[in-house]
Amino acid sequence: MPVAEPGRVVGFESGLRWRVLFPELEHVAASGYLRELAASDCSPATLRSYAFDLLRWFRFLHRQYTPWERAERLDVRSFVEWLQQAPNPQRVRRRPDAPPPGSVNPVTGKPVLAATYASRTINHQLSVLFGFYEWACSTDAGPLVNPVPAQRGRGGERLHAHHNPMENFVVHRRATYRQKTPRPVWRAIPDEAAEALFGTLRSHRDRALVSFWLSSGARASELVGLKHDGDVDAGANTITVTSKGSRLRETIPASVDSFVWLALYLNEERPPVTPGGPVWWTRQGTPRPLTYHAARAVLQRANAALGSNWTLHDFRHTAAARMLSDPAFTLFDVQTVLRHVSVTTTQIYAQPRLEELVGKVLEHYARPRVDGPVIGPAYDAAAVLELLGIGA
């Protein structure tokens, strides 16, 4: 039986929302850094993510018998090498019949996530550690020098420290130990696949959720957080969500079908309805507010039935792709609905699908060859050639 690793991340109702206990007591430096983030208006979800990144680092140093305040650059390098090869615990929880890591799902054409930590995860881990040690150095709580290499511009300043928002970002060389990350691509669900997925759903609640995701483009956590305090306006066909990044309350449109499924869910399944209470509830056992992980389980059951590997965020991509394919929508319209800060992010969804390009290429080569431009019979060919300086 494997021995449990020391430390854990614990949530608290008052004070600092998330804290790192390592090995058994609260880690003072980690709590100090997380308090700094909390005072900078970071969301609880961000604090939780950073806490787990710090815990992973502390556990690695514990196996190396190295105190965190004595970590050196070589320790960071060893940590990155370990992340590149170590199995990600989240990937271990696969179905026995799931395709092997690194393969391509035959239904969706999407790659199956590798068993190790992704490049973006490693880069995020390094960013968290860089910020942690920067704070520790500035408060004399740790080493005098940050062991995590920083990414800097040509003059030695922090990257994008004085960026002009009216200009495009300049691509700089990756910092030491930062991983190459794939270019962002959209992952929209084709209409036929979306209909097949919708057909596997078991309840009006699940149909309402998927319908809202596909029509509004709301993020999964934003939709799950809907409340009975004006968040749903069926008359105006809008919902009001708390945006994930800015945490601003913003109103977005949704389809009529979404509100029909929502009405069927509320009328037939009769979940608890209280002023200010959550809209979505679990259906098994004692009703509890639906969480993000429970909503993801709904999609996982559908994936198991279809043999697919769609994700909740693919619904957002699908909504964006459908809007952009409609001539009535402009790129800025879609940016407003998706609430992107930069239109550059929205442009990712304007990329054509591979199957569309295949069709266009086949059509291109099947089309009869057209000769080059010729001089019309109404013109004097010699005069035109002399004018253009051809054949002189």
For residues 116 and 85, is the Cβ–Cβ distance under 8 A?
yes
The pair of three-digit structure tokens given for residue 350, joined into one six-digit string: 């304007």
The catalytic position among 316, 317, 322, 339 is 316
What is the C-alpha separation between 321 and 317, in angstroms, rounded? Answer: 6
288 labelled catalytic = no
Which residue in 19, 219, 322, 339 is the catalytic one?
A: 219
Q: Which of 91, 227, 244, 296 is catalytic?
A: 244
Q: How far is 140 from 136, CA to CA, in rounded Å?
A: 6
- Catalytic-residue membership of 244: yes
Q: Which residues, 6 or more positions from 37, have their beta carbon under 8 angstroms from its beta carbon?
A: 46, 47, 50
Residues 6 or more apart whose CB falls under 8 angstroms from that of 300 comprise none
Give kind and range of the element (H or E) at residue 233.
Answer: strand 232-233
Q: Is 8 known to be catalytic? A: no
CA distance 324 to 187: 14
Q: CB neighbours of 183 closer than 8 A, spacing ≥ 6?
A: none
Alpha-carbon distances of 289 from 32, 271, 284, 375, rounded to whole Å: 32, 10, 11, 74
Bond into 165 cis (ω within 30): no
- Which residues does 316 contact at the CB level (< 8 Å), separation at least 6? 213, 217, 218, 219, 220, 338
User: Can 316 be counted among the known catalytic residues?
Assistant: yes
219 is catalytic: yes
Q: Cite the active site residues.
A: 219, 244, 313, 316, 340, 349
